[in-house]
């Protein structure tokens, strides 16, 4: 998987988690400590999501790496 596809997948997953919880993009951005414009770019796959922000987002959505990425699950990460 190339970097652009990975960014798009991460962004789509983030957006789907946010929408599933009926959280507005502006509210999620505020809670994650980023601007709504930046979160929008991440969700569209146009920006790389920095690792610390990814961890923060996983905690925010009460997810673990294994529940968000099957490769990580196979590597032994546990679900919350």
**Residues 42-66: tens digit of each pLDDT:** 999 899 889 899 999 999 998 876 6
**What is this structure's pTM?**
0.77
Nearest alpha carbon to residue 55 among 72, 36, 76: 72
Q: What tens digit of pLDDT does each residue of 22-39 get?
A: 999 999 999 999 999 999
**Domains of the chain, start order:** 3-74 (1.10.260.40)
**In the structure, what pLDDT confidence band is assigned to residue 70 with cuts at 50, 70 and 90?**
low
Cα–Cα distance measured from residue 78 to residue 20, given in angstroms and rounded to the nearest whole number: 22
* 71, two tokens: 């490769």
pLDDT of residue 32: 97
State the pLDDT at residue 76.
Answer: 44
Quote the pLDDT of residue 10: 85
């Amino acid at each position: 998987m190339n970097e652009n596809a990975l960014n798009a997948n991460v962004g789509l997953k983030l957006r789907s988690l946010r929408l599933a919880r009926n959280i507005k993009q502006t509210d999620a951005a505020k809670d994650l400590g980023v601007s709504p414009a930046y979160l929008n770019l991440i969700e569209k796959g146009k920006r790389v999501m920095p690792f610390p922000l990814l961890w923060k987002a996983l905690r925010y959505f009460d997810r673990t790496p294994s529940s968000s990425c099957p490769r990580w699950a196979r590597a032994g990460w546990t679900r919350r």
